[in-house]
A and B are shown apart, each in its own frame.
Chain A
């Protein structure tokens, strides 16, 4: 019902575009519940502006910006924009075809400041140039890297790195990853892009009395391999530049070379603290392409597991943030409770973190015996423990001093910088995808979306505390309402047959063998599925060409966009506040760099 309404909204938006730009729209499709339009590159700015500014359309949030390389087609590239309305969750996909000879587009950073890093990523990965971009540098690959990894003619492996022993031979031979006939030299790698010569270009004055401090990538409080280049005036920050890419593992590239069931295991490794959300978003995307209907029991258990995962993730977020601000004990208390959830996951799947338990078509298996009783304990144990953390932190004057009024960001600014999750809700904007565009039967459960008022570190911390309480509420309801029935969709072409059938039925054996060895073809098309992960909007944009492997395997990580708000939040604050701010964003670098 809601879905149809949202599609109508998007369609009316297209009507409006047609009126204003009769020539602009080449192609409209409403496949798989997504509304997508294709516009020429000269009309892009006008269309996007209309979509954002027109009051009754108002797609005010840039969910994702990426590109697809259709190698043997002409035009070769397609840049894909996903625009969302925060009012009702309507979503529209704008695609712009580009040729290899002229891969140039106007930048939309003036309309959506959050497109900054996305455009840099597309430039880095596909070599598409965005005119008028404020700072078009590589973002994930190191500066000086040759080639654009996500192009289809870029090999997934085989790059050789120059060491002293092979430096000379590498200079003679052309390297597989150097494209477009360039063969002049080995990989030029400058680990430090912030040499004195380019300080000015990056806005670091390097003036007398200023210290340029390199925080990270190896630093105890940057939650992984995040690097912040900070210009300090005493203890105050005058400029801060986040640098990412140190944990870039090429998950998106790898995904294109694996079958759909195999690629599932990669999703666990993107946001490793919210692995089930990654599973879920990916499976939802593939299921939408396949047109699979998921049994209610499986949907409920998915909700149950995701909420447990959210608890675990928030526990870590709060614990680590407290630890970095000096309250070491809270971290250990949080770990104590997180261990309960980890035990549940271990019982569920045999592993603690990379469960891959949510699979295409439902769940890997029925819940093991006795697990539900163990999960029932969680809502009994946790409320008291959450009060305990509050006693240690919320009522602690030093904690309040360190968090209240620190890292302020207004709701409007957070939205324009692409923030989502607790970061956005901390600034008072009510956008929770579980409510805005319910998936996996989230609309069957009562829960509230906690909102902040001041948009500071404290509000974001409080939102996590409250969200944990709401998660417990959902878990209770799921346990009460959990229906009987299968946990896998009834489609043998996609879902593995039950173990006991393998000994009896030849057909089952064949299906099992086919799915496990070669995967299954997925009808051609594209879709963008989103879930509300503990960090915000987690989206999977899957393009299928009808084969067994995803043609494009795009992960829209919430942490990636959330990190863009650091400079806005850290303006005029102290260096110690940066730690609090990072803690309140709770980035997972696996999610940022993928």
Chain B
């Protein structure tokens, strides 16, 4: 009876839809709640790098600090500056946040797993697009509109400068970032993220075949997610807080959320493109390897932040246009020659 029921094509389709829905909800929830542990980890790591303890008061070892922060942010007064453009001001954090989440639609976390009882194979990704990497790059690039609009709508000179810096920075580094990806695509011969990971299985990680591409990707990626040494749009030293100087309460939290999610998606992308995704020795499931690699890259990003000073705006531009871009083209050329 039961077997008959689940072999019914209508039911099958409904299960399919249900599975996708569940996956979307799970991924969204996980990504949404990721910044909570991440802020805690970042502050803890920063604390220990800087011979401090980091958060310590709320809960054991300050573990509940992010929750307290969240509650604080929710209950803070939401201030819209006098003479700001209220409509753009309100919508900007959302424009920044949505693409950061949308990126995860195509990111694979692992191969298929079989769900017991119904004996159904479920893929650990929402969708495997043929143009996965293009989708990721295109969507991730949209986030910058939120930053520009936020900076513009605030009607504050510091925010405006932050927004302007951001737009210039994104455009210059997105090119290098995309070209670095092209190297990988040429090696793997596919735009699908799942195929890219599969092609690397058995220790054929792309970092071995694309070392230059990896370096370019790492640098441009740091710039893309506004982390030190490239965090010019928010440059506390000069611009106060940059593009989100005038934001408070949850709108500010949205920008912060975006940044952390962007950090995660950049690390995930790096693992997929260069570190073989879920590929690893068999004694641990693939998804665990995947998470370990992502966590390590996030750690390195945090570590960098508390080690280096930041570049100046024009130096950043010089690096982007005069060094990274030619290098990435060179990388494509070399890859092309080798592949042929």
Contact = CB atoms under 8 A, between A and B. Distances in A.
A329 B46 CA distance: 8
A398 B309 contact: yes
Given A332-B50, A332-B52, A396 B238 contact: no
Nearest to B319: A401
Prevailing SS type, chain A contact patch: helix
A401 B311 contact: yes
B132 interface: no
Contact of B306 (A329, A398, A401): A329
Contacts of A577: 312
B86 interface: no
B78 to A, nearest CB: 22
A326 B309 contact: yes
Interface in A447-485: none
B314 A235 contact: yes
A110 interface: no
Interface in B42-57: 46, 49-52
Contacts of A547: none
Nearest to B232: A576
Contacts of B229: 326, 398
Interface in A371-421: 392-393, 396, 398-399, 401-402
A16 to B, nearest CB: 50
Contacts of B75: none
Interface string A328-354: 110011001000000000000000000
A345 B229 CA distance: 37
Interface in B223-248: 228-229, 231, 235-238, 240
A326 B237 contact: yes
Contact of B312 (A328, A336, A402): A402
B313 A398 contact: no
A575 interface: yes
B235 A322 contact: no
A503 B58 CA distance: 54
B23 interface: no
B283 interface: no
A324 B310 CA distance: 9
Interface string B150-166: 00000001101100010
Contacts of A399: 309
B313 A574 contact: yes
A107 interface: no
Contacts of A43: none
B8 interface: no
A213 B309 contact: no
Contacts of A325: 237, 309-310
Given A213-B157, A220-B240, A333-B50, A235 B315 contact: no
A219 interface: yes
B308 interface: yes
A328 B312 CA distance: 16
B122 to A, nearest CB: 44
A326 B312 contact: no
Contacts of A235: 161, 165, 313-314
Nearest to A400: B309
A66 interface: no
Contacts of B314: 235, 574
Contacts of B235: 326, 576
Contacts of A326: 228-229, 231, 235, 237, 308-310
Contacts of B240: 219-220
B307 interface: yes
A332 B54 CA distance: 12
Nearest to A578: B238
Interface in B208-233: 228-229, 231
Interface in A274-323: 322-323
Interface string A531-575: 000000000000000000000000000000000000000000011
A28 interface: no
A328 B229 CA distance: 11
A393 B312 CA distance: 16
B51 A336 contact: yes
Contacts of B46: 328
Given A328-B50, A332-B50, A333-B50, A322 B312 contact: no
A393 B307 CA distance: 10
Contacts of B238: 221, 575-576, 578-579
Nearest to B229: A398
Nearest to B313: A235
Contacts of A436: none
A327 interface: yes
Nearest to B305: A328
Contacts of B311: 398, 401-402
B50 A396 contact: no
B312 A333 contact: no
A329 B312 contact: no
A327 B50 CA distance: 11
Interface in B317-338: none
B157 A328 contact: no
Interface string A98-118: 000000000000000000000
A572 to B, nearest CB: 12
Contacts of A336: 51
Nearest to B307: A329
B51 A396 contact: no
B130 to A, nearest CB: 40
Nearest to A221: B237
A121 B300 CA distance: 52
A576 B236 contact: no
A576 B315 CA distance: 11
Nearest to B235: A576
Contacts of A574: 312-314
Contacts of A221: 236-238
B50 A329 contact: yes
A576 B309 contact: no
Contact of A576 (B49, B157, B228, B237): B237
Given A327-B308, A401-B311, A332 B237 contact: no
Contacts of A401: 311-312, 315
Interface in A19-77: none
Interface of B: 46, 49-52, 157-158, 160-161, 165, 228-229, 231, 235-238, 240, 306-315
Interface of A: 211, 213-214, 219-221, 235, 322-329, 332-333, 336, 392-393, 396, 398-399, 401-402, 574-579
Given A326-B237, A574-B313, 15 more contacts: A211-B160, A221-B236, A221-B237, A235-B314, A327-B308, A328-B306, A329-B49, A329-B306, A332-B52, A333-B50, A574-B314, A576-B237, A576-B312, A576-B313, A579-B238
- Nearest 8 CB-CB pairs, A to B? A326-B310, A332-B50, A324-B237, A327-B309, A326-B309, A325-B309, A576-B312, A576-B238
11 contacts: A213-B157, A220-B240, A324-B237, A326-B231, A326-B237, A326-B308, A327-B308, A328-B306, A329-B50, A396-B308, A401-B315
